[in-house]
Amino acid sequence: MSKDIATRVTTGVQALALPGEREGWQAQHRGSLLTDGQSYDALADAIEADLKARRLDGDLPWGISAAYRARKRVKPLRDAARAMRKAAKAINGTVAAYEETQPEVVLQRRADKALRKGQRKQQLQATAHNSAQQTLRRLAPADDDGPAGEAKVLGDFFGPNNGQRRGA
Q: What's the whole-number mean pLDDT along residues 135-148?
A: 65
Provide the number of structural domains found in the chain. 2
Domain of residue 118, residue span: 103-160
Check residues 24 and 155 and name the one with the higher pLDDT. 24
Q: pLDDT tens across 93-108, in order?
A: 888 787 777 778 888 9
The pLDDT confidence band at residue 121, using thresholds 50, 70 and 90, is very high
Residues ≥6 apart with Cβ < 8 Å to 158: 165
Q: What's the whole-number mean pLDDT along residues 140-155?
A: 59
Q: What's the whole-number mean pLDDT along residues 140-148?
A: 59
Within this chain, do residues 97 and 128 fall inside the same structural domain, yes or no? no
Residue 124 lies in a domain: yes
Percent of the chain with pLDDT over 70: 74
Out of 46-55, 62-71, 126-135, least confident range: 62-71
**Helix, strand, coil fractions of the chain, as percent rounded to 5:** 80, 0, 20
Within this chain, do residues 156 and 115 fall inside the same structural domain, yes or no? yes
The pLDDT confidence band at residue 1, using thresholds 50, 70 and 90, is very low
Element (H, E) at 144: none
pLDDT at 17 over 80: no
Q: What's the whole-number mean pLDDT along residues 48-56?
A: 83
**Hey, is 114 helix, strand or coil?**
helix
Q: What's the whole-number mean pLDDT along residues 143-148?
A: 58
Residue 88 lies in a domain: yes
In the chain, the amino acid numbered 122 is: Q
Element (H, E) at 168: none
Within this chain, do residues 23 and 96 fall inside the same structural domain, yes or no? yes
Within this chain, do residues 32 and 48 fall inside the same structural domain, yes or no? yes
The pLDDT confidence band at residue 46, using thresholds 50, 70 and 90, is very high
Angle at 83 between CA 77 and CA 84, to 5 degrees: 90
pLDDT at 82 over 50: yes
Percent of the chain with pLDDT over 90: 28
pLDDT at 7 over 80: no
Q: What is the mean pLDDT of the chain?
A: 79
41 sits in the region (left: phi over 0; alpha: psi -120 to 50; else beta) called alpha
Residue 122 lies in a domain: yes
Helix 2-17 with 19-53: angle, nearest 10 deg:
130
Cβ atoms of residues 66 and 55 within 8 Å: yes
Q: Which of 81, 94, 78 is nearest to 29 (CA)?
A: 94
pTM listed for this prediction = 0.52
